[in-house]
Amino acid sequence: METTFNKYKYLQELINEVKEGIADGTIKDWDGVCDLVDNSISNEVIYYHDSLQIISQTGLYDWSGIDDDLITDVTRVAYWGLHNFVFEESEDEFNSTIFNLHE
């Protein structure tokens, strides 16, 4: 059975992973959050099939707003789109989770 990428499910799993990392001490700051997110997204865009699903889910049908240097193949476009989606949707939550860690 073929699985279909769901950006909201992915985002929720990623947020949970960040919170777990903060709770267990493997993530200590914003750089740690960014590293985890970057690694996770890189794993999601390994295959063209997955990248095309991500492009579809993130609505990236017009690539004119993406820096030309990033448009080398569909995996790069998918990475860019998923990265933007994750941080647009969750940056405040990541920041508040880190802020609470330091209180």
The residue segments making up the domain with residue 66 are 7-101
Provide the CA 88 distance to its chain's centre, in angstroms: 10
- The CATH number of whichever domain residue 87 belongs to comes to 1.20.120
- Confidence band of 74 (pLDDT split at 50, 70, 90): confident
- Confidence band of 102 (pLDDT split at 50, 70, 90): low
Total domains in the fold of the chain: 1
- Cα separation, 37 vs 66, whole angstroms: 20
3-state secondary structure at position 10: helix
CB 94 within 8 A of CB 14: no
- Most confidently predicted of 30-39, 59-68, 83-92, 93-102: 30-39
**Where is pLDDT greater, at 60 or 68?**
60
User: Does residue 2 fall inside a structural domain?
Assistant: no
